[in-house]
Amino acid sequence: MPHRPLPTDLELRTCPASDLPDEALEPFAALAASLAAVANPHDAPPTAAHLRAEMRGLVAMGTHVADVALAWSGDRVVGFLVAGGQRTGTNRHLLQLDLGIAVDWRRQGIGRALLHEALAVARRDGRRLLVSGASDRVPAGAAFARAVGARAGLELRVSELDLHAEARTLFGPSGTVATWCARGPQRAPGYDLRWLERPLGDDAVAHLAVVKAAMNAAPHGDLDVQDEVITPERVRAEEALYASRGDVVWTVVAVERSTGAFAGFTQVGWQARNPRVVEQHDTAVLEAHRGHGLGRWLKATMLDRVHRERPEAHVVRTGNADTNAPMLAINEALGFRVARATTVWQLDVGDAAPA
């Protein structure tokens, strides 16, 4: 994968995420903010404090390892790469990439230089597959993926629910949320819903690990990935990530009354810097408990609380595979609208020739 020499005034600096120097944060944040304005124009821009929290969060997880490469032109960061993967458990063959280039610095070899940094990290850690997403709002991302020989693995849609525009149809006395909340106990009389309080106790963590494994049923397309083995330690690592970033996270679970086992869950979170946007994390129901409308009951219950207690929230954002028909049907019934499409690309390390 030959590439043109970098401009002479450009310098690449690579370090573990834990060692990212403070003086890099503001220039890194400036680039991230300019790119985020295209990808999510209604969001608050990322800040230096936000990036520091992100880096600390990656370290706090313990189960993950991450490296950062920044392309500098003088005192300006014009390109970045964050490369990370799981240290333990399944899918240790993957290295996930977040890569961005300043608009006025594209087509000058920076992307390929950063990709070679990613390949070096992958080979160092014994990983054989690079994975990254590209939004249709930034066509250069897909063009770059094709140019370096990556192949499309999964098509996703990112959808948003405008809580204010849909308030009447959602939250009125005969609205969708009220209707689904009322029908929930009728369709699933053997279940109760329970809110999890943080910090999570050991019992909640153990039950949550079991029900989170239901996310393995979500479509993976042609991605070369394995089912995730969700352990209590993995759940604790995720909780450490949220805490280190200062995220607020809400989780409501469906509990089978006769056994006390968790049958399903939904989880959302948001950051203090961006209170207008609530990010939908995961929603899943274990196969043995499907067919009772638990997914709709859980989602409606979560939206009802967000509406009542988070008036500053304007948007709920979620991502789903194009082929995940059951979840797409629920989201569309609630009023979610497609905001952008994303393709997850994959590149075999062995298919990339050395520079």
Would you state the pLDDT for residue 3? 53
Cα(201)–Cα(13) distance, integer angstroms: 41
Q: Quick check: 56 and 77 in contact, CB under 8 A?
A: no
Kindly state the tokens that stand for 170: 């959602």
Q: What string of H, E and C letters represents the secondary structure of 106-149?
A: CCCCHHHHHHHHHHHHHHHHCCCEEEEEEECCCHHHHHHHHHCC
Would you state the pLDDT for residue 182? 97
Collapsing DSSP states into helix, strand and coil, what is residue 81?
strand
Q: Is the pTM of this model over 0.85?
A: yes
Antiparallel, parallel or unpaired: β 277-285 and 337-348: unpaired
Would you state the pLDDT for residue 107? 92
Strand partners, 14: 69
Antiparallel, parallel or unpaired: β 64-73 and 315-321: unpaired
Would you state the pLDDT for residue 355? 42
Would you state the pLDDT for residue 354? 43
Would you state the pLDDT for residue 306? 98
Q: Quick check: 194 and 253 in contact, CB under 8 A?
A: yes
What tens-digit pLDDT sequence spans the chain (355 residues)? 555 567 778 999 999 999 999 999 999 999 999 999 998 888 999 999 999 988 888 887 877 889 999 999 999 999 999 999 999 889 999 999 999 999 999 999 999 999 999 999 999 999 999 999 999 999 999 999 999 999 999 999 999 999 999 999 999 999 999 999 999 999 999 999 999 999 999 999 999 999 999 999 999 999 999 999 999 999 999 999 899 888 999 999 999 999 999 999 999 999 988 999 999 999 999 999 999 999 999 999 999 999 999 999 999 999 999 999 999 999 999 999 999 999 999 999 988 744 4
Kindly state the tokens that stand for 350: 């062995």
Would you state the pLDDT for residue 57? 84
Q: Quick check: 219 and 82 in contact, CB under 8 A?
A: no
Strand order in the sheet with 94-101: 10-16, 64-73, 76-86, 94-101, 129-135, 337-348, 151-162, 315-321, 277-285, 262-270, 248-256, 191-195
Kindly state the tokens that stand for 351: 């298919």
Length of the chain: 355
Alpha helices in the chain (DSSP H): 25-39, 48-61, 110-125, 139-147, 167-171, 176-187, 202-212, 232-245, 294-309, 325-334
Which domains does the chain carry? Answer: 10-156+344-351 (3.40.630.30), 167-334 (3.40.630.30)
